[in-house]
Structure 1
Amino acid sequence: MAPSPAAATSASPAPAPSFDADASTSDALAEFTAVVKKRLASDPQPHGRDVVDALVAAGFDKKAMELTPDETTLDRNVDSIEFSVLWKKQDCLVGQVGSAGFSSTSAPVLGTGKCLVGATRTIDW
Structure 2
Amino acid sequence: MVFRIQRSRGTGGAVAGLTLLVLLVTTACTTQAPEPTTSPSASQESATATSTAESTATPKPAPSFSKTASTAEALRFFDSVVKKKLDADSGAQGRDIVDALSSAGFSKKNMEVTADSTSIGRQVDSIEVSVRWRGDDCLVGQIGQHGFASTSSAVLKTGKCLIGTTRAIDW
TM-score range, shorter chain: 0.7 to 0.9
Q: Deviations over 1:40-92 (max 9, x none)?
A: 10112211010000000110011000000001011111111000000011000
1:100 positional shift: 1.6
Moved over 2 A (4+): none
Other-structure match for 1:63: 109
Question: Normalized per residue, which structure has more strand?
Answer: 1
Equivalence map 1:27-46=2 (5 Å): 27-46=73-92
Q: Please tell me whether the aligned partners of residues 45 and 98 of structure 1 are also in contact (alpha carbons under 8 angstroms).
A: no
Question: Normalized per residue, which structure has more helix?
Answer: 2
Task: Mark the structure with the bigger radius of gyration.
Answer: 2
Other-structure match for 1:4: none
CA distance in structure 2 between the aligned counterparts of 1:74 and 1:21, rounded to whole angstroms? 39
Look up the SS of the partner of 2:77 in the other structure: helix
Q: Identity of counterpart residues, as a percentage? A: 60
Q: TM-score, normalised by structure 1?
A: 0.84
Q: Which has the higher contact order (CA 8 A, sep 6+)?
A: 1
Equivalence map 1:1-125=2 (5 Å): 18-125=64-171
Number of equivalences: 108
Q: Which stretches in structure 1 are left out of the alignment for 5+ residues?
A: 1-17
CA distance in structure 2 between the aligned counterparts of 1:111 and 1:33, rounded to whole angstroms? 25
